[in-house]
Amino acid sequence: GCTKEACSFRDNASAFADFHAQRVGISMDDVAKQAEFSSQHNFDYPLLADTDGAVAKSYGVKRAIGLLKVKRTTFVINQDRTIRAVISSEFNMNAHVDQALAALAN
């Protein structure tokens, strides 16, 4: 899940660049774990650590219970910090990139 989704954002770098869009990944993993993950998969975009879940909670994607700590969600955010699109899919990892690019095109 996470690997396929993150690699899809990496593999579509030029499509996001066409829209002058900055890709950023965020999870509740610590910085060391993210650095290792990023290095293993040659990511060309930053991964941010939300170890206490404050960001996830503020965006309404933190789960109260369960093995998965957050809902798999992509936010397309304008430069003025307004949310342009919210993409949620636990199973279709390609939906995140496809729908984010569609939102940028509109």
Does 2 qualify as catalytic in the annotation? yes
Find tokens 């957050």 and name the residue: 70
Point out the catalytic residue in the list 1, 2, 68, 78.
2
Kindly list the catalytic residues. 2
